[in-house]
Structure 1
Amino acid sequence: MRALVVYCHPDPQSFTAAVRALVEEKLSAAGAETRTLDLYARGFSPALAQQEWQRYLEGAHEGVAEDVAALRWCDTLIFVYPTWWYGLPAMLKGWLDRVLLPDVAFLMPDETHRNIRPGLRHIARLGVFTTGGASRLLTFFVGAPGKRTLLRGLGQLCAPRRRTAFAMHYGMDSSTAESRMRHLTRVSREMDRLIGPLPRTAEARA
């Protein structure tokens, strides 16, 4: 297993950091090769610059070559981040904008294909672990855009029979030590399921 953890939080002492530590601990125990991209620690720039935009269709990797290489290397992709305004933090959204490039994450339409085609079929496991201040009901009323972007939007570019895992601590602003411990227990269960043996057909695709 080759796991890429994309971590996005500005505070290394946050509860999200504890979730990341648990995710990495589970991967290590499973014998996975693991790479972590800590976006804030690296000072990642989320803005898509004019020059990058102008060369977007060329799949230019300037400034994100390490990230592109890691994305191509992994067969397991895990995101750990806080949900802000029901969606992805600007830093993480910018990572998607700059790294999930044509000919990396997807193939552009052409004369014989009207729609984009998946470029991440080697990724057989996709995990999303997040926290949010809103309640579960309000988050789903709004549409849970962060979850949809990663599990549905990005997920469609991955292996057809990918295994997915999701855990969110809702109501973080009123969380307790007990609720946070329950969430870590859920993350642990989801990780055990995510990194368990894949069906042979999925392993062959990965």
Structure 2
Amino acid sequence: MKKILIIQGHPDEESYCRALGNSYKMGAISEGAEVQEIVVSEMSFNPNLNFGYRKRTELEPDLLAAQQKIKWADHLVIIYPLWWGGMPALLKGFFDRTFLPGFAFQKRENSVWWDKYLTGKSARVITTMDQPPWYHWLIYGEPAHKAMKKMILEFCGIKPVKITSIGPIRFSTDEFRKKHLEKVNTLGSKQI
């Protein structure tokens, strides 16, 4: 039985991202996966890494619980909208405060290299956007996807990392949204 952690990065509980998360969850559960969730906007924590890595800020209980869920999971599903070319600020703060040295990675003494502590896990990133995904790829070079995949998840040893981009959401029809909910449900049932 696969252990799946869904990290919901959209702050609006009525958002399409929330519907996508529920669709993935239902697909995964239908095939016997065990699913836990983190809804970042419902957590209580300071999103600022006040001292960088120079000095540690005590982790709030919600962040400690999130780290336990991340350790538990075989597969992470991270869902968020692209805003100004990146993830919502609170989700970025979540990664800044949770994926810390000693938990997610560790820099080696007197070296530019590091050890990856989250190996053996895979991830699916699901993003929504107000432009067609091909435009985000062709014109902008997918900076948000590269940052999430390469600079956060793979940096800590999580792979493979697959990305699903859905857009344009603005002015989308019910038929368009339903089609993508079904697609995400299928991803959940395949647990990928």
TM class, shorter-length: 0.7 to 0.9
Indicate how the Cα distance of structure 1 residues 20 and 83 shifts in structure 2: closer, same or farther if over 3 A, else same: same
Aligned to 1:117, which of 110, 115, 118?
115
* 1:19 and 2:29 aligned: no
Distance 1:98 1:87 in 2: 17
Distance 1:163 1:62 in 2: 28
- What is the one-letter code of the residue matched to 2:73? C
- What is the one-letter code of the residue matched to 2:118? L
Q: Is the contact made by 1:87 and 1:144 (CA closer than 8 Å) also made in structure 2?
A: no
Tell me the secondary structure at the aligned position of residue 86 of structure 2. Answer: coil
The match for 2:88 is: 89
- What is the one-letter code of the residue matched to 1:148? K
Q: Is the contact made by 1:107 and 1:119 (CA closer than 8 Å) also made in structure 2?
A: yes
Runs of 4+ in 1 over 6 A off after TM superposition: none
Q: Cα deviation per residue 1:161-188 (whole Å; 9 max; x = unaligned)?
A: x344322211111211111112122223
Scaled by the length of structure 2, what TM-score is found?
Answer: 0.86
- Cα offset for 1:61? 5.2
Scaled by the length of structure 1, what TM-score is found?
Answer: 0.81
The match for 1:145 is: 143
Tell me the secondary structure at the aligned position of residue 174 of structure 1. Answer: coil
- Structure ranking higher on relative contact order (CA contacts 8 Å, 6+ apart): 2
Q: Is the contact made by 1:169 and 1:180 (CA closer than 8 Å) also made in structure 2?
A: no
- Cα offset for 1:44? 4.2
- Cα offset for 1:137? 3.5
* 1:157 and 2:156 aligned: yes
Gaps of 5+ in 2: none
Aligned to 2:171, which of 171, 174, 178?
174
RMSD: 2.1
Q: Cα deviation per residue 1:120-170 (whole Å; 9 max; x = unaligned)?
A: 0131x20111211122233122122221122222124225xx344322211
Indicate how the Cα distance of structure 1 residues 61 and 76 shifts in structure 2: closer, same or farther if over 3 A, else same: farther
- Cα offset for 1:88? 0.9
Tell me the secondary structure at the aligned position of residue 170 of structure 2. Answer: helix
